[in-house]
Amino acid sequence: MRLIPSLIPKSGLLLLFLPFAVAAQSFTSNDAQFSLKTVADGLEHPWSLAFLPDGSMLVTERAGRLRLIENGTLRPQAIPGLPSLVVSGQGGLLDVVLHPEFVDNKTLFLSYAHRSSQGMTTRVARGIFEGERLKDVTTIFEARPRSNTSRHFGGRMVFDASGHLYVSVGDRGEMDRAQDTRDDAGGVHRISVNGEPAPGNPGLDDPNINNTFFTWGNRNIQGMTLHPETGELWTHEHGPRGGDEINILKAGTNYGWPEITYGIGYSGLPITFSTEKEGMAQPLHYWDPSIAPSGMALYTGTDFPQWQGSLFVGALKLRKLVRLEIENGQVVEEEDLLTSLNERIRDVRAGPDGSLWLLTDSSQGKVYRVVPVQ
């Protein structure tokens, strides 16, 4: 897969990771033999990973801490200066992404759950990472209205080539909110680095659509990546019992939840009898039963040439890594990996050199790097 230079972040990220002393675990796929090298462990439900220009890494812990991995070692102290947040149910500190010009401005963005007297919601804050602390932290986005549920915060973020930030917000466990375009829940929002609606958003000229919306009808997106060749935004979202979806998002598109779904309710009863309706998009791919997907990366590295162009998705419920072979924008093969590891895979990231990185979701979570067996 060829990388388009204009779609590579302007942060000047370099891969300077040192060799790790921890013994690797070996696994086999249809096309390759690989191992996992443990970069860090002892993390409390790690949620997201970001690569800094000097080769160190930032890791969020859902429990409300931002951690630094430097020279292959997890620093014992959490980074101070985080915004006020709440750890409740599925909520806590979620994603971390760097500004496309981080090298120059040291700016990063955090998504997290926040509580007030009106309830909880998903927020995004911007801050300066300097001197191993955050400063000048400012809230730039808040999904409204708030509610008292502790589910489906979404929280995945990604920048596009124009410097616009995409933020997913789940339906908060109140499914009908995803079809209300005057309610921020259940969709993806596209904003500027200051939190303003991005130019071209579908609601800018429509009073019935909130002006930060990019898409709606999304249940709970926890995987999001920008395709390195096309610039398209690829996402996946949790279904209920079945109906996890992969979608290529288009501005102003309704993805149907809960009016259409390939899943059923947790009670075993139907949510709807419809899997398609006019004006609602069909998924590129779906899972039934549910795998509970989280984290997503398109492989562009050179360690595994046979994986070029594959989409990798972590699975929480079924505890595996899924490799999807993509041809002409369609899934043509699916392979389950790491089933013997028996770990909930929370995040899947492509490193600056295209290498594949994983986070495991547990009270003793790990950071893994996927490497070829020589």
pLDDT bucket at 321, cuts 50 / 70 / 90: very high
Q: What is the mean pLDDT of residues 226-244?
A: 96
Q: Which tokens go with 57?
A: 């890494």
Write the single-letter amino acid at 118. Q
With a pLDDT cut of 90, the percent of the chain lying above it is 91
- In this prediction, residue 20 carries a pLDDT of 41
pLDDT digits (tens, 9 = 90+) for 189-213: 999 999 999 999 999 999 999 999 9
The SS3 of residue 37 is strand
Q: Residues 220, 170: contact at Cβ < 8 Å?
A: yes
Alpha carbons 110 and 96: distance in angstroms, whole number: 5
Q: Which tokens go with 247?
A: 């979608």
Place of tokens 């779609």: 7
pLDDT digits (tens, 9 = 90+) for 143-154: 999 999 999 999
Q: What is the mean pLDDT of residues 165-170?
A: 98
In terms of Cβ atoms closer than 10 Å to its own Cβ (0-12, 13-18, 19+), residue 345 is buried
Alpha carbons 355 and 254: distance in angstroms, whole number: 33
pLDDT surpassing 50 at residue 14: no
pLDDT surpassing 90 at residue 330: yes
The CB density around residue 18, as the number of other CB atoms within 10 Å, is 11
The SS3 of residue 227 is coil
pLDDT bucket at 24, cuts 50 / 70 / 90: low
- In this prediction, residue 280 carries a pLDDT of 98
Of 273 and 3, the structure prediction assigns the larger pLDDT to: 273
With a pLDDT cut of 70, the percent of the chain lying above it is 94
> What are phi and psi for residue 85, nearest 5 degrees?
-145, 170
| Residues 289-299 as b or e (16 or more Cβ within 10 Å = b) | ebbbbbbbbbb
Of 1 and 55, the structure prediction assigns the larger pLDDT to: 55
- In this prediction, residue 374 carries a pLDDT of 80
- Domain extent, residue 266, equals 5-372
Q: Residues 210, 261: contact at Cβ < 8 Å?
A: no
Whose CA is closest to 370, among 338, 331, 344? 338
Number of separate domains in the chain: 1
CATH number, domain of 296, equals 2.120.10.30
Note the Cα 191 to chain centre separation in Å: 17
H helices of the chain, in order, are 102-105
pLDDT digits (tens, 9 = 90+) for 71-125: 989 999 999 999 999 999 999 999 999 999 999 999 999 999 999 999 999 999 9
pLDDT bucket at 16, cuts 50 / 70 / 90: very low
Q: Name the strands in the sheet holding 187-191, side by side, starting at the edge strand that comes first in the sequence.
A: 157-159, 165-169, 187-191, 213-216, 253-254
The CB density around residue 77, as the number of other CB atoms within 10 Å, is 9
The CB density around residue 167, as the number of other CB atoms within 10 Å, is 30
- In this prediction, residue 266 carries a pLDDT of 96
- Residue 330, CB-side half-sphere exposure with 13 Å CA sphere: 2
pLDDT bucket at 8, cuts 50 / 70 / 90: very low
Whose CA is closest to 284, among 334, 357, 355? 334
Which residue numbers are catalytic? 152
